[in-house]
Amino acid sequence: MQMMDDILKELTESKSENISEISECKAILQRIEGETRRVGIDIPKDRWLAIGAHVLGFVRRMKNKERLPVIEAELFAEIHPDMVALSRRVLTFEGEAWQVDETEAFLLAVHFEAIRVMQTDPSQ
């Protein structure tokens, strides 16, 4: 829990973030922590910072009803299906007003895939 607070503090230190954004980011980061722990993925701090920055951008885009450009479906073939499923689980949850698009799911899955590859083949 303290690590999530530290990451959010580092990401938002020089910006004026509203409390709602920080709260939503923290909830998503906690879901990420729970889901990755459940599947045996250990996220190093530098990757947490990258994921935190992505999640903050995600929350802002959803609040502002902005969308990233659509990505080619073939790109999903480059990511392990379990990492794509993990990403979708984390970003799609009850009680939220937004619809997560495939680009957002893909981008978060890229973070998970990079960590998965580092853990399965440390020489990468």
Q: Supply the pTM of this predicted model.
A: 0.80
Q: Is the pLDDT of residue 17 over 80?
A: no
- C-alpha to C-alpha distance for 113 and 15, rounded to whole angstroms: 29
* SS3 per residue for 43-112: CCHHHHHHHHHHHHHHHHHHHCCCCCCCCCHHHHHHCCHHHHHHHHHHHCCCCCCCCCCHHHHHHHHHHH
* CA contacts within 13 A on the Cβ side of 44: 9
pLDDT confidence of residue 14: 46
**Contact in structure between 47 and 114 (CB atoms under 8 Å):** yes
Segment 48-89, tens digit of pLDDT: 999 999 999 998 888 888 889 999 989 999 999 999 999 988
Give the Cα-Cα-Cα angle 10, 44, 85 (nearest 5 degrees): 105
Give the Cα-Cα-Cα angle 45, 90, 20 (nearest 5 degrees): 80
